[in-house]
Amino acid sequence: MEKNGKRERQRGNEREGEDSLDIAEVTAENKRPKPENAVTIAVSTRVLFRTEREQKVFERHGVEEYLRYQIQHENEPFAPGPAFPFVKALEAVNSRLRQLYPQSEELFDIVLVTYNHAHVGIRLINTINHHNLFIERFCMTGGSSPIGYLAAWHTDLYLSADAQKVREALAEGIAVATVFMPEKQTEVSESQLRVAFDGDAVLFSDESERIFKAHGLDKFFEHERQNEDTLLDHGPLKGFLEALGKLQKKFYAKGQRLDCPIRTYLVTARSAASSGLRALKTLRAWGLEIDEALFLAGAPKGPMLEKIRPHIYFDDQMFHVEGAAEMGTIAAHVPYGVAQKRQAGK
Ligand SMILES: [Mg+2]
């Protein structure tokens, strides 16, 4: 059903796509994978780079002054933003994949998404070259929404700083999260990509979360025990975990399970003894391996994440996102499920 939806959107956006700038063909020797084979990660300029100063120029002086500013400064590269180490780690995984499978198109493909006008492209390309990034797909929408393009690119994950755009993309069935600029940033591995996920309303649907919110913790435990053998429905980021698993298996097939450059973590407030079983049984039934599962039974997630040092952590509750960010983890908010109503109602 989802696949059909994706195709429908793709058809609908073909015409719209004409005014986007796609420079995918620039480097002929570095063959780009087809979107349907690749794991496509779309990141916005504001999460990949630090653009706060430019943002201020735009807000205070308007678009014309902003464009003038960008052109004047086009030889000054932007500094790395919160998603930068994540993108670097994707590229580290890609180089390992290319060594093992020189012909395969099953790689991460990174798309830089920006609402910017194409004039700003020169500064972006200079920045990408300055930081030795391998990003050849640009989506410069000149102010209009990039969501149609994301669907056309079979996007497996979209990271943006714009909470409204993130909600719109989520409504279109795209795996998406809002990334915030943290005050401190823990150092992360340059050779192993680590991705941490919350369970309910991220990998799983929010069905159990609803029971908890409506009837409290005791009823939640009772419900999860009773439904231990009933699989949870999928949440918005299940597909991304699946995509990571697909690439992990390529390393396992070459005997590199212990040296795999991708590691995944479930960091959930569920407790192992009772409600954890249903989560693990669901993942197993989906055929998804998660490398480490941490059942915190309500303990704060920040300290655990500080130990894991993931490149990114996904959670549906701002409370956990903020707790993780305070301790230096790049945390991203997935605005899905019953917790959002509660936050909006506060
Ligand atoms: Mg949750």
Tens of pLDDT, residues 120-135 = 889 999 999 999 999 9
Give the CA angle between residues 137, 321, 343 to the nearest 5°. Answer: 110
State the average pLDDT over residues 319-340: 95
What percent helix, strand, coil does the chain show, rounded to 5?
45, 15, 40
Q: Give me the pLDDT at residue 31, please.
A: 62
Helix runs in the chain, H state only: 2-12, 45-48, 52-72, 84-100, 121-130, 147-152, 163-171, 207-226, 238-252, 276-285, 302-308, 318-326, 338-345
The yes-or-no answer on residue 198 being catalytic is: yes
Query: 269: CA distance to ligand 1 center in Å?
Result: 8
What is the side-by-side strand order in the sheet with 292-295? 137-140, 108-114, 39-44, 155-160, 176-179, 331-333, 312-315, 193-197, 262-268, 292-295
**Which residues have beta carbons under 5 A from ligand 1 (an ion)?**
198, 200-201, 316
* Alpha carbon distance 302, 283 (integer Å): 24
Query: 77: CA distance to ligand 1 center in Å?
Result: 37
Query: 104: CA distance to ligand 1 center in Å?
Result: 35
Note the CATH number of domain 193-345: 3.40.50.1000
Is it the case that residue 14 has pLDDT exceeding 70?
A: no
Q: Give me the pLDDT at residue 342, please.
A: 58
* Alpha carbon distance 204, 293 (integer Å): 14
Band (pLDDT 50/70/90 cuts) for residue 18 is: very low
- Count of H helices and E strands in the chain? 13, 10
Phi, psi (deg, nearest 5) at residue 48:
-80, -35
Average pLDDT over the chain, rounded to an integer: 88
Query: 200: CA distance to ligand 1 center in Å?
Result: 4
CATH topology of domain 2-177: Rossmann fold (3.40.50)
Band (pLDDT 50/70/90 cuts) for residue 258 is: very high
State the average pLDDT over residues 200-219: 92
Q: What is the pTM of this model?
A: 0.88
State the average pLDDT over residues 290-307: 93
Is it the case that residue 43 has pLDDT exceeding 60?
A: yes
**Residue 81 in contact with residue 47, Cβ under 8 Å?**
yes
Query: 53: CA distance to ligand 1 center in Å?
Result: 33
Q: Which of 109, 156, 198, 206 does the annotation list as catalytic? A: 198
CATH 3.40.50.1000-classified regions of the chain: 193-345
State the average pLDDT over residues 29-36: 67
Amino acid sitting at position 126:
N
Q: Give me the pLDDT at residue 343, please.
A: 56
**Residue 219 in contact with residue 211, Cβ under 8 Å?**
yes
State the average pLDDT over residues 296-313: 94
